[in-house]
Structure 1
Amino acid sequence: MPSWRQCGARGATRGHRGRPLRSVSPETDLDSGAMRATAYDGHKSTPLSLADAAKPAAGYRWVDVVASGPHDSELVPMLTALGYSDVMITYAQRTDSMGMFSVFQGRILGATWANDPDSSDLQLVHFAWDDKGIMTVRFGADRAMDEVRTLMEERGMTLFNHPSVVPGVLLQLVLATVDHRITAISEQIDDVDSDIIEKVSPDQPLQLRALRSSVGPLARRLPVYADNLSEALVDPASLPGMDAVGAQYLKAYCDHVTDVVGRVGDAQDALRNAAQDYQTEVGNMQGNRINQLTVVSILFLPVTFLTGYFGMNFQWLDNELMSMGMWLALGVVLPILMVIGSALVLVRHGYTLRWWWRRSKVGKEQEAHAAERRRRTVASATATPGKGSDKG
């Protein structure tokens, strides 16, 4: 794949519509002017300079713009050259969104999300398309978008010969990076839940809290986005640059989003189940400790009574217990016999060491079977092909 190069007019002092650009501080942009743009036309990916962006496109293309931040000094000139209006530029500079998808000024304007492999950061990806091409604007997720670009290049002209299908396929591939992240989170939740069943440790609630923080942003954004998408795609064939074939891919993308929303809900349920398993295991451990203390108390309760009784400082009692024989009988033999008697009473009522061991083993097996059933449920949901799978 051709390497990206820096493009745009470095040091430009004027933004779109002749207004001065906002000054950029080191705290706002750590790498001001590091914007990169790439154009893919179905044959190859090429770096896109500011001058090239201002020229009319020879055909349908995908332009991907990645900036160091919303106030990158080269971002506004590039978007202006690509035909973005003031409102569209303002929207493209947002770093957070609940996911818009609507027709604006003859284009489809919206957003989706990408996620780098082995990263918990959900990156917003703005997009806009019309009959001339589709553009994406983002501030990260380079590895995820590199994977998307590779998959797009594998399809090549087979895909770009029918431009109306490009938006649906591209959006599905971008969303697939989030889908992979959800799969990884579900597997991590399953591993933590299995560890909880085997042995409770203090770091497990911290692990669940970290996983919950990864699922939370998805749970807040995707359901709203799915609703916006469904509302906008009531008649997808009427959208700019779209026909009946492209509409099928957009509907597939909508189904894919709905499927991802369901999987996020499954991950939340798995988190709640894991937290309940932790509470159950801790409760069982505390219950076992209390039962053990109760048994020990019952065993030594008669001895405690004897200690208190013979420890009373009565003169007549001291006179009766002065001999060695009485001390051995009442101070040694009698306590041992009473402990043995208490143990026999417990055994008669079913409290044996074998019973305690079997009870603990059966409880562990039941919890393990329950965890295995949950794992199979998650695995079957993961293995089921999504309705929005890429057809391209």
Structure 2
Amino acid sequence: MIIDCAHYRDGCRQGDGPVPIEDAATLHGEGGFVWLGLFEPGPDELARVRDSFGLHELAVEDAQTFHMRPKVEIYDETVQLVILRTARYDDEREEVDFGEISVFLAPTFVITVRQGVASELHSARSRLEQRSELLHAGTASALWAILDSVVDGYAPVIAGLERDIDQIEATVFSGAVAPTERIYSLRREATDFYRAVHPLLAVVATVERTAVPQLRPYLRDVHDHLLLINDEVGAQRDLLGTVLEANMAVISVEQTKVSVQQNATMEQLTVLATVFLPLTFVTGFFGQNFGWLVGHIDDFWTFLGLGIGGLLLPLVLLYLWLRSRRRPDRPPTP
């Protein structure tokens, strides 16, 4: 879908509304440059753009593929393809949405192909249209505006990830267990964000070296901001690794507490079963209907001696045995 198409000459936009693709293909040879903006175009629409501006088929195919890393490719010696990764933080889902911008850059035209919702460029175009002194620099000024907008969009992502990391860090270091899946998810998002930011340093450095002197200070400013963001996202990755290790330690401590509690419960049950084992044997033995037992236990004292005494004796022996087991070993006498 075509978002906007404009012809820029003498430092300002020519005309009021968008320019059709067919007219833009002829206007870019009449001085100035044309900026065509596309959002998730289909194959047929890209084919029209390719035929109108004479783009290399491999460059168009590259623009349709979602890349993991920013890069710069040169086609036909005059056309550059610059791939940028965009990012946007979603506060409701607490996740990072990624997009991509493919920029076809030539002396007489700029074509931007946006993929994903996190790739808005209206503000970049509006900002550049208010800087007529930069528009005089040609298509490189449009590339600067795009780079500046993309890098500025990274700051809210850093802030959003920082809030999430602070919450997880506070939970873990308070001694509570944080969801391990959430930490892994944050680590994956920070890693994906790092893959979008770090390679862009080389892209901006390449553009800065080849830019006209008028734009180099502005590109250097973009490069400085990008360096700060790169350092921050690298620090966030390292911090998430530390938080993950700390959370594993907290989980291990909690599991140890549960294990100790289970061992104490098993010890109590074992003692209880040990107490009742001889009692069960004695009561079972004297509960048999043997003639001798029936004929000789016929008064109270015999019952008291054989019955109650038979119950107390194993209990006393068990107590003495358990007490001797718990007595600490004495050191040998010299």
**TM more than 0.5:** yes
Distance 1:142 1:271 in 2: 24
Shift in CA distance, 40/265, structure 1 to aligned 2, threshold 3 Å? farther
Shift in CA distance, 68/243, structure 1 to aligned 2, threshold 3 Å? closer
> Which amino acid is 2:235 matched to?
D
Residue of structure 2 in register with 1:120 after alignment? 96
Shift in CA distance, 321/284, structure 1 to aligned 2, threshold 3 Å? farther
Residue of structure 1 in register with 2:65 after alignment? 94
Give the secondary structure class of the aligned counterpart of 1:96: coil
Please, which of 136, 159, 172 is the counterpart of residue 148 of structure 2? 172
How many residues align? The count is 294
> Which amino acid is 2:161 matched to?
I
Residue of structure 2 in register with 1:38 after alignment? 5
> Which amino acid is 1:205 matched to?
T
Report whether the alignment pairs 1:111 with 2:83.
yes
Residue of structure 2 in register with 1:243 after alignment? 212
Give the secondary structure class of the aligned counterpart of 1:109: strand
Residue of structure 1 in register with 2:192 after alignment? 217
> Which amino acid is 1:322 matched to?
G
Could you say which structure has the larger radius of gyration?
A: 2
Percent identity of equivalent pairs: 15
Structure 1 residue 62: Cα displacement:
6.6
Is the 8 Å Cα contact of residues 65 and 136 (structure 1) preserved in structure 2?
Answer: yes
Measured against aligned partners, the alpha-carbon deviations of 1:34-80 in whole angstroms (never above 9, x if no partner) come to 44333374756742311331232476557242243451x12222344
Q: Where does 1:72-221 land on structure 2 (aligned, <5 Å)?
A: 73-96=44-67, 98-104=69-75, 105-118=77-90, 120-132=96-108, 134-141=110-117, 144-152=120-128, 155-157=130-132, 159-161=134-136, 163=138, 165-197=141-173, 199-200=176-177, 204-221=179-196
Please, which of 5, 17, 20 is the counterpart of residue 49 of structure 1? 20
Measured against aligned partners, the alpha-carbon deviations of 1:275-297 in whole angstroms (never above 9, x if no partner) come to 22332221111111223334445
Measured against aligned partners, the alpha-carbon deviations of 1:293-339 in whole angstroms (never above 9, x if no partner) come to 344456666545433343433859x964634x997x8999x99x99x
Shift in CA distance, 300/168, structure 1 to aligned 2, threshold 3 Å? same
Give the secondary structure class of the aligned counterpart of 2:281: coil
Q: Which stretches in structure 1 are left out of the alignment for 5+ residues?
A: 1-33, 346-392
Give the secondary structure class of the aligned counterpart of 1:75: helix
**RCO greater where, 1 or 2, for CA within 8 Å and sep 6 or more?**
1
Measured against aligned partners, the alpha-carbon deviations of 1:347-369 in whole angstroms (never above 9, x if no partner) come to xxxxxxxxxxxxxxxxxxxxxxx
Residue of structure 2 in register with 1:68 after alignment? 40
Distance 1:62 1:197 in 2: 55
The alignment yields a C-alpha RMSD, in angstroms, of 4.2
Shift in CA distance, 259/117, structure 1 to aligned 2, threshold 3 Å? same
Distance 1:40 1:183 in 2: 37
Distance 2:58 2:259 in 1: 66
Structure number with the higher strand fraction is 2
Structure 1 residue 171: Cα displacement:
0.5
In the superposition, the TM-score normalised over structure 2's length comes to 0.67
